[in-house]
Amino acid sequence: MNYGLYTIFLGMRSRQNTLEAQANNIANASTVGFKAERLLYSTYEAEKKGTSDKQNLVAGVLTSGSADFTEGAIQQTGRTLDVAIEGDAFLQIQTPRGVRFTRAGNLSLNQNGQLVTKNGDLVVGENGAITVPSTGELSIGQDGSLAADGQVFERLKLVRFNNPTNALTKEGDSLFMATGAEQPQENVNSRVLQGALENSNINSISEMVAMINNNREFESLQKSVSLLMNDIGRKISGDLGKM
């Protein structure tokens, strides 16, 4: 095995994965409740066949990826069915694929008067799906209580995780699926803010700068491939000349 080429291959593959994640982050910079994807890397050691020598091949081999659960900025909208969560809690959602969790609070009512997400998935309350009375002004309290004309009829089911990075995995559309590593717990300190939304936690400028740096590293590795291949070519030519 040519360890030089293998090193470069691993480095280029890692940076390609990074580029895809960065592009997706930037594309969702204005998506409500979106959480940035961060990739984790480590060094990789390989043992030469027939020896005990180990070579540190590359700093930056992809090992895993996870969401960045840092809170996004809260923006006031004044819309009755918009809710933002201040704290680490999630809304519990019922989808055709099962239970999911989200921070995207741009809600609406379906034709049956049930509270749903932008994708039409049911928002879960303490007693299941939430049907909003057709009469009376709806108000949402900081504890997630839902009231019509001052009468509480349901409460949003807010849950939290001690370690959301391990407990949740991204599914798309600002939804997260439980990994089974941790059971959802009852909300403790989070507050619900009616008439507001949590923006994406993406900083577009920082993400663009990181993308530019990543592209430069990729281009540098491409140049290394050319240099290494030229060197291999010269060695092959030299060996053939001796035959």
Question: What SS3 string covers the chain?
Answer: CCHHHHHHHHHHHHHHHHHHHHHHHHHCCCCCCCCCEEEEEEEEEEECCCCCCEEEEEEEEEEEEEECCCCCCEEECCCCCEEEEECCCEEEEEECCEEEEECCCECEECCCCEEECCCCCEEEECCEECECCCCCCEEECCCCEEEECCEEEEEECEEECCCHHHHEEEEECCEEEECCCCCCEECCCCEEEECEEECCCCCHHHHHHHHHHHHHHHHHHHHHHHHHHHHHHHHHHHHHHHC
Reported for 231-240, long-range contacts at CB under 8 A and 24+ positions apart, including other chains, are: 232/2
Give the residue with greater pLDDT, 183 vs 39. Answer: 183
Residues 83 and 151 both lie in one domain: yes
Residues 90 and 168 both lie in one domain: yes
pLDDT at residue 54, as a whole number: 47
**Phi, psi at 58, each rounded to 5°:** -160, 140
The range of the structural domain enclosing residue 212 comes to: 3-69+202-242
pLDDT greater than 80 at residue 38:
yes
pLDDT greater than 90 at residue 229:
no
Residues 152 and 194 both lie in one domain: yes
Domain boundary among 198, 218, 234: 198
Residues 192 and 126 both lie in one domain: yes
Residues 51 and 93 both lie in one domain: no
pLDDT greater than 90 at residue 52:
no
Q: How many domains does the chain have?
A: 2
Dist. CA 147–CA 197, nearest whole Å: 20
pLDDT at residue 86, as a whole number: 97
Residues 40 and 156 both lie in one domain: no
Residues 116 and 63 both lie in one domain: no
Residues 218 and 183 both lie in one domain: no
> pLDDT of 133-171, one tens digit each?
988 899 999 999 999 998 999 999 999 999 999 999 999
Other C-beta atoms closer than 10 Å to the C-beta of 17 total: 16
Q: What angle do CA 191, 203, 82 make, to 5 degrees?
A: 35
Residues 106 and 178 both lie in one domain: yes
Residues 101 and 164 both lie in one domain: yes
pLDDT greater than 60 at residue 47:
no
Residues 149 and 227 both lie in one domain: no
Residues 187 and 101 both lie in one domain: yes
